[in-house]
Every structure is written in C-alpha cells, then in structure tokens.
Structure 1
C-alpha cells in the first residue's frame, strides 16, 4: 500500500504552495487555541502566560473595510491575496483592559415546588406573532367617585417654577389593591362572564414581551370559571425604573439600605405616583354609582367585558383617576408620573424640560417601555381618552423623600400607544393564548412565572398546593 505524500514546508505554515509566512515568536507546533496572545500579522507575536481570571466583554462590532486592510494588508500582500490599491501601514495591536462581564442574580418571585409540573412556555418570538381583536367592550357596572383635575397645574408648574410633592401624605392614603378573588363585585357578577381579572394583572400578561424583572400570577379554574390573581405584596404593583435599558438599570449590587437599591427605587416611584395623583385633583367630584367600600377611595371602578370567543366573556376591573372639563364635556383621564433619581441617566429634567421636552419623553420611553406600556393599556382598557404624565425629580439627589414636580404632559392614549410601538391586538393575542392553555386543563390551580433572567414565561400546575400557601419572595 502506497504511503500518502504530505507536502511539508519547514519554513512556513501549511502547504509550500501557499507560502504562509512563519510568525516570529510562534512555532508551527504551538497550540494556538490555548494561547492568550495578540498577533500582528507579519510582525511578532506576544504571549501571555497567565490566563484571565474571569469572563470578559468582547467588542464584536465589524470594522470598516479600510481599517481591516490597514490592519491586515501586510499579511495579505505576502500571500498574494490583498488588492493592490494602496500599501498598508504596519501597526502593532495593543492590549487594553476589558471590563469584566457583570453577572445578574435575581430570584424568582415564587418558589417552584418539586411537585409542580410545567404545562407551557411562552417566549417572545412566538408571542410577537399573536394577534386578536376582541371587539368593543361592554359596560357592566361602575362604582365610586372621582375628583376634578386641577387645570391650573399644567400652566403653573415648570422646571423654573417647580411644585413640591408631599410623598409622606401619599404613604398614609388608602389605594385600591385587592385582587380579583377578593373583589366582592366579581363575586356578585360571577354569572356575567367566564373569566375575572384586574387591569393590573391583565396588562402584565399583555406586556410580558417587554418585562425584564420577574413576577408571578396565580390562576384558579373551577366549575367553568377562571380567576387570575396577583399574590400578596406582588411585584406587579411595583413601578420599576429603567427596566428596559440594560446600560442604566439600577445596580442590583446596591445595599438594601441604599436609596438607589432597585427595591427602594420601586417604592419611591410608587410614592411619587400617589403624591402626583393627590396633588393633581380637587373638588368637585363626580359620582360613578354607589360607593364601593367604607374607605371611599378617590377613584372610580368600571367593570368592562370583552368576548374572547362565543360564550366566553372576560370581565376586567379597570380604574379611572380623574375628570377634566373640556368644551363643556367631562373627559376621563389617568394620572402617572415618571421620576428621575440620576440626572446622568435621564439627561436632566430640570435642564432640558424647558427646551427639549421631546427628547426627555423619548428617553423615558426607551428606559421604561414596559412600565409605560402598562400605563397606556390601563388607560385604553378603562376607556380613558387622555393621560397626564408628571415629570418628577428629587429635590436633592441624595434624598429620596423630597420631590419636585417640574412639568405635566398631556397626551392622547392612542398616541401614547403609538409612540410606544404598542399593539393592542398583540396584547389581546398573548392573553388569549394563555387563556386557551388554561381552558384545556382540568379544574385546579396554576401559576404563571416570569423567568428572572430570560424573556420567557412558564405556566405550572399547582393542584396539590393552596394559592395562599405559595412561598413568595
């Protein structure tokens, strides 16, 4: 049997016909995969004996053609592969300190029990393809009363003439927070629909593609009725800051005592929103049916129904914050507030709100897409035509209980959804997909869990557990 002939070139690399040059400092027998080195082709290789002690971020952006030719032109000219357009200038590749990859550790908001079984997984690529038009809502009932919005606030407040917000008053004021299974009106209306849910839970499902932080939703199916609940002290109530901008997300390594810890920032945002609401409304009030509880909460509740299919109605509890007089008409509105804790992230409300309001608004949409999408959907589900957005900043960057209202923006709900690139039909499509999964399951208890690190939501059976016994974090 004739031996195979190998064309070997002892002065270079590879077959002699290609004439790859020998690189000084690197032998042909070296294992290049184990070398942590840089090579300037045609010059000298420098080896580093030590290995990196951690992961590194690598810049994988493509370089322009001219830069590539400048960098590798000398090597290509030696092997006869480079164009002869111009001579390359030899440059040495220098080592630079690369930042260590930041690890993110987040816990799920509910402990996954060993006896739970996953029945479905919803991912963003699949969710993006979903769409459903539920048609017009049917007004079922309404309760409570709302105060009138202070129109003077829009013109009297500015970055040069800010308004002090009393966030301590907001802490002592009662706000509705009951979940669907604890709502007595849902119980009274149980024959009017097949599924019962609050707007807070519904919009969390509709915007799951934009959510980054973890959350959970508890589902009960019994005798043909389905109830979606949030857990006690649910993260769905939190108002996150800069959730959708990885470069500016609050540092999760901040100590729990720090005012810039993510949890503390969420609590601050909640106080700011409530303070903005309280400072924006006044008498007279408008009644929406009878008072729905002893606390006489300063909002109105509307129960609205949509049809997902023939004979399957979804009853949603929505909220209205205030009313404003326009051209002798009473226009319903929702009130929300964005707040900055670091002017370097927002661009500085005080400096730019007078001249660059559009830039500040666009920046908030970029940083808080999920939160603002929930706001827009809540307004749309309630049949509210306009949204008022307050821009709030800390009076002192190092103090989280003193705030200034610098500007109030009025925007049509539909326009806000368009600015957010938010599809109402896609939101209903995602929700309908979840409902179909539960409809095909037997009576029991189920849990939706947003993965803390991935854009994935999983649904588990939890039939052997009681919802109130779920261990939440």
Structure 2
C-alpha cells in the first residue's frame, strides 16, 4: 500500500501589494490575456447571494426615481465598489449614447383598461389603484390601510425626482445653424470653466459718451397697494455690436488693447456656466486683435424668462407663455420700464455726445451713457494683454456737490404663477410685500443666469446702484398690459455676492477663451453653446458667414417700410 504524499507547488510572492501572481511570474499559457486586477484594499461584497431567487448575485439596477429595482439597493452598493481601485480594461463607455439613455421599468404588470391608471371602485367605497411598476395603493372606505412600494418615491410629495421619467425631454435647437463645412476646433465643458480664476485690477476709463436723465424717485415708493401701469414710450436706444462701434474702431486703430467687446457679450461669457439656453458669439481675429461680436437678431437682443427653472417654459409657439413669447415680452417690459422711470428735468452729459445718434432721427434719444474702459488681463509683467470694453449705464441720481450716482435699470416680469414654466413662483401681488424674501429667492433660482449677467454688467460699467423692477401682467391672459408692483435698490457687488457670482472665475473664462482663439490664424470663428448640453464649442467659419443673413434682414426691413 502506497503512502499518500503531497508536493507543495511553487509559490511566487507578489511584491506589488496585489492579489494573484506577479506579472513577471505568470505561466506562459496565461501571458497576454487581459484580466481585471484589483487591490487588496478593494471591497468585494458578495460573490453570490442565495437569497435572490431570481438571479444569484445580480447587481441592483438604478431606476429614474431613485433607489434600485426589487429592493436590492444595499446589494448594489456593496458590489459597485469591486475593482474601483484600478482602471479596468473591461469598462465600456459610449459618450454619445449616454446622453440619450433612459431606463424603463420592464416588470410584468396586470393588464389594464383605459388610460394610464385604473380606478376600480368596490363595495363600501374601496378603491384600488394600479400603476405601472408600483404596488397598488389600497384604501378601505372604513379606515383601512395603505401600502405603497418602497424605493420609488411613489407617495405624494415623495423624494426628489419623483415622476421625472414622465417629463417630456426638450431637445432645443441651436441658436445658429451649424454648417457641415465648419471645422470644430475646441470643445470645453462647463465643469472645466468653473475651475478657472484670474484676478483683474480696477479698469482705466478711456472715454465716455451720451446723456443721462435723472431717476424718478417717486417710483421708489411703488408697492402692490400703489402699483403703477407700465407705459409704452417711443425712444431711441442704440446697442451696436463691437465691430460696428466707431469708438471701438478708433481705439483699435490706436492699438489701445488686444481684445474688444461690449459688456453684454462679456457678461454672458463670464457667466456662461449658468446658461441653459443656446447662444453664440462671433469672434474675428485680425492680426494681434480679437473682436467679440453678436449676430443681429441673435440671443443678445432678447431677455430670457425662467431659464434656470427646474421646469422652464414650454416651446409651444401658439401659447403666450412659451419661451419665445415670454422672451419678447420681457424685452418689451424692460425697455419701457427704463424709459418710464427717468425724468428729463435733470440731465447729465458725459464728455462727448452719443456716437450713434444722427440729428436726422425723428424719435427722441433715450437716457443712456457709454463708458469705454480698459481692463488689464496680463498674468505676468512680461506680457501685455488688455481688453477694451464698452459699458452702459441707464440713469443717474444727483448727489451732494458735483458727484453723480450712476444707475443701471433692469426688470423681472411675472406672467402667470399657475402656468407651466412659472417655476413655483408665488403670486407677486399677494406675497411681494409680506414675503419679499421668498419672492426674491425664487427669482434668484429661476433666473440665475440672467441676474448674474445683470450684476456683472453693472460692476463692469462702474455703476453705483442697480434698480430692479418687479413688473406683472395686469391680466394673466394679456401680455401687452403690465403694472409696476415694486422696485428694489441693490448694490451690484452685494447682489453678485448673494448670487454667488465669482468675478475672478469670469475673468479666467474670458482669458482662456481668448487664448484659445489666439492660437489660430487670422479669420472668423464662432463660439456656440450646445443647445442641450453644458458644453461650448469653437468653430472656424468662412469670412462670409452670417453676412448673407444680415443682407436678407436689411432687404426685408426695406420692403416692409415701402
């Protein structure tokens, strides 16, 4: 009878603090075969779960409303950490498909009749509600019980994200049609933009133009009990793009700066990570100079409404509460509010007259002052990067002596607190005086991008005060008649702090974008915000791009005039 024996196999110690053999001691038959390495510190979880009758060890799948399917949230959390310590060769990611992916509950349900939900009433008033993917909620007519499924937030007022899968996905169109022949040069997501920072000193005032009217102080006493109707006033106010500004052209001829822009364009760029709706900026490089322009009729000429709301206004063109109709209404309200709240009995003239006004014009000129200022964006003492900016102020308040308090004037408008897209805003007429903080907080949430831009514009212009008017429709069904309910007086720097606006971050974004444009040769470029993602892209476009559109608009205006 032979004696049993056991030969101890050769063991190779792994000095890399990992499980399994060292790569230098792999058997020949296992070399060049990919495997998933993991560290000794990685959490493995369960290899198999015999309590899961339908699939042993199956990872829990997340669902749209939060939680996991079939109550396996705890198991999913344990298994998710496997292999997290190292990069896996088996991970597959498809960026283009991720944005359009949505998970649908595919559990078997009892057959239903009629619409999305059936109500079957029995004796004694009992009611059974059957919803897709949820356990029924049963309520007895004589004080029975209620049972709801856990993990999906199906109860009224449930967890955040309840019924999110039922919301209609909105695919917005780009602000400009992208030609297939355009060449994409750069793509930057907003997460990268929020990490930039550049400290910029106080600007140098180069020149000032225009005439300002004084602020009518009687409007500071307006309230919901003493509201004033908004009037339609005909005035001329000019807002040409950067390249069409004759003062900018003179500054460029003198090599005053390397970058030229307006406060409307620059504030959008500085607050870009807050934007939701699409926009575009036309960039022209000429030698060592860079001009940031807007397109005529583009998004810069209109004011958005509730852009940052959880459920923004719909895109229904037939509704007066659609995003486009509300934008036109907000622009109309803002312009007439500026004209109405100033009086001409006191004026303040800047050094030079309005550079855009022609004596041949019939309509009178609106109150507006243009301040041209130069900011130094240099990072080191060796380089010299300056930005010439045209800023605007809207009125003034006489102060002691010869001092003037410069104002910028803006408005928020209420359309219908019960309409879709209102963003949960309270009724202004009933809450604006008694619960002002709640109204302001809601507007700061729903219009974060717009308010941040206004605060930045006021700071760039060197305005001392921002007058913010609250204007509501006289009738929720009529978008052309409005009433002024209240006016807030704000310090631009304090308002920016309340909105959590970081000017150094904004300057970092401006410097980064301009540096990217300076890498490429002379020509025309366009910076486009993706309509459905938090991404901006830089395209190289022909020099003739957008010129045909401007010519068509001029022809249409000429034909309509005749």
Normalising by the smaller structure, the TM-score range is 0.7 to 0.9
Q: Residue 48 of structure 1: SS of its match in structure 2?
A: coil
Q: Give 2:250's match in structure 1, choosing from 166, 179, 188.
A: 188
C-alpha spacing 1:102/1:189, structure 2 compared with 1 (3 Å)? same
C-alpha spacing 1:424/1:18, structure 2 compared with 1 (3 Å)? closer
- In structure 2, the partner of 1:261 is 322
C-alpha spacing 1:388/1:48, structure 2 compared with 1 (3 Å)? same
- In structure 2, the partner of 1:419 is 498
Q: Give 2:303's match in structure 1, choosing from 232, 239, 242.
A: 239
- 1:127 equivalent in alignment to 2:201: no
| Cα displacement (A) at 1:290 | 2.4
- 1:279 equivalent in alignment to 2:311: no
| Cα displacement (A) at 1:257 | 3.1
Q: Give 2:436's match in structure 1, choosing from 338, 352, 357.
A: 357
Instruction: Identify which of structures 1 and 2 has the higher relative contact order when contacts are C-alpha pairs closer than 8 Å and 6+ apart.
Output: 1
- Between the aligned partners of 2:148 and 2:329, the Cα distance in structure 1 is 51
- 1:332 equivalent in alignment to 2:406: yes
Q: Residue 305 of structure 1: SS of its match in structure 2?
A: strand
C-alpha spacing 1:467/1:195, structure 2 compared with 1 (3 Å)? farther
- Between the aligned partners of 2:52 and 2:532, the Cα distance in structure 1 is 47
- In structure 1, the partner of 2:179 is 113
257-266 or 213-222, larger mean C-alpha shift: 257-266
- In structure 2, the partner of 1:149 is 215
| Cα displacement (A) at 1:464 | 5.8
- In structure 1, the partner of 2:384 is 311
Q: Residue 329 of structure 2: SS of its match in structure 1?
A: helix
C-alpha spacing 1:48/1:429, structure 2 compared with 1 (3 Å)? same
- Between the aligned partners of 2:341 and 2:52, the Cα distance in structure 1 is 76
Q: Give 2:460's match in structure 1, choosing from 363, 378, 381.
A: 381
Q: Residue 189 of structure 1: SS of its match in structure 2?
A: helix
| Cα displacement (A) at 1:92 | 6.9
- In structure 1, the partner of 2:20 is none
Q: Please, which runs of 5 or more residues in structure 1 have no aligned partner?
A: 1-16, 52-88
- Between the aligned partners of 1:455 and 1:322, the Cα distance in structure 2 is 36
C-alpha spacing 1:270/1:18, structure 2 compared with 1 (3 Å)? closer
Contact between 2:223 and 2:485, CA under 8 Å: does it hold in 1?
A: yes
Q: Residue 377 of structure 2: SS of its match in structure 1?
A: strand
Give TM-score, length-normalised by structure 2.
Answer: 0.67
Q: Residue 484 of structure 2: SS of its match in structure 1?
A: strand
| Cα displacement (A) at 1:452 | 0.2
- In structure 1, the partner of 2:157 is none
- Between the aligned partners of 1:422 and 1:402, the Cα distance in structure 2 is 33
Contact between 1:301 and 1:320, CA under 8 Å: does it hold in 2?
A: yes
370-379 or 173-182, larger mean C-alpha shift: 173-182
C-alpha spacing 1:257/1:177, structure 2 compared with 1 (3 Å)? farther
- Between the aligned partners of 2:327 and 2:372, the Cα distance in structure 1 is 28
| Cα displacement (A) at 1:358 | 1.7
- In structure 2, the partner of 1:163 is 228
Give me the CA root mean square deviation: 3.0
Contact between 1:218 and 1:467, CA under 8 Å: does it hold in 2?
A: no
Contact between 2:216 and 2:342, CA under 8 Å: does it hold in 1?
A: yes
| Cα displacement (A) at 1:49 | 7.4
| Cα displacement (A) at 1:463 | 3.6
- Between the aligned partners of 1:164 and 1:90, the Cα distance in structure 2 is 52
C-alpha spacing 1:420/1:464, structure 2 compared with 1 (3 Å)? same
C-alpha spacing 1:27/1:125, structure 2 compared with 1 (3 Å)? closer
- Between the aligned partners of 1:437 and 1:413, the Cα distance in structure 2 is 30
Q: Please, which runs of 5 or more residues in structure 2 have no aligned partner?
A: 1-47, 62-68, 73-106, 113-144, 155-161, 419-423, 554-562
- Between the aligned partners of 1:303 and 1:237, the Cα distance in structure 2 is 20
State the Cα deviation string for residues 176-203 of structure 1 (Å, max 9, x = none): 1210111111111112111111111111
Give TM-score, length-normalised by structure 1.
Answer: 0.79
| Cα displacement (A) at 1:286 | 0.3
Q: Residue 153 of structure 1: SS of its match in structure 2?
A: helix
Q: Give 2:530's match in structure 1, choosing from 438, 444, 451.
A: 451
Number of aligned pairs? Answer: 402
Contact between 1:110 and 1:470, CA under 8 Å: does it hold in 2?
A: no
| Cα displacement (A) at 1:369 | 0.5
Contact between 2:339 and 2:366, CA under 8 Å: does it hold in 1?
A: no
Contact between 1:163 and 1:406, CA under 8 Å: does it hold in 2?
A: yes
- Between the aligned partners of 1:206 and 1:458, the Cα distance in structure 2 is 16
Q: Give 2:371's match in structure 1, choosing from 271, 283, 302.
A: 302
| Cα displacement (A) at 1:101 | 3.4
Structure of higher CA gyration radius: 2
Q: Give 2:351's match in structure 1, choosing from 266, 273, 289.
A: 289
- In structure 2, the partner of 1:341 is 415
